[in-house]
Amino acid sequence: MASSNILTVGTSNFEADVLKSSQPVLVDFWAEWCGPCKMLGPVLDELSAELAGKAKVAKVNIDEHSDLAVQFGIQSIPTLLVFKGGKVVAQAVGLKPKAALKALVEGAA
């Protein structure tokens, strides 16, 4: 995943990279053991390339950053939240097609 534009965020950089971002940020709450989360990986890679300059894509590993999962009420994964201006403006739960996620982000832009 070295060539990916996806940010890895956690407790230490969530505020700076997500809440204070000038662009909308699609945040994927995921875990290593989650099959649908792994299937979503290549979709998010493509999406981050297509949205470059317009929006960011970030991932939060809920096993490593359970405080963020609790803070945002994550009940099941994958959960994708779109942040704009420090607030959640859209969300999707479960494996979604790229077009649906792109529309979610563009609706927030």
Is there a catalytic annotation at residue 63? Answer: no
What phi, psi does 41 have (nearest 5°)?
-50, -55
Report how far residue 38's alpha carbon sits from residue 22's, in angstroms, rounded to the nearest whole number: 28
For residues 47 and 80, is the Cβ–Cβ distance under 8 A? Answer: no
Residue with tokens 């563009």: 106
> Which of 6, 9, 18, 37 is the catalytic position?
37
Is there a catalytic annotation at residue 37? Answer: yes
Element (H, E) at 91: strand 87-93
> Which of 34, 89, 90, 103 is the catalytic position?
34
For residues 90 and 82, is the Cβ–Cβ distance under 8 A? Answer: yes
Residues that are catalytic: 34, 37
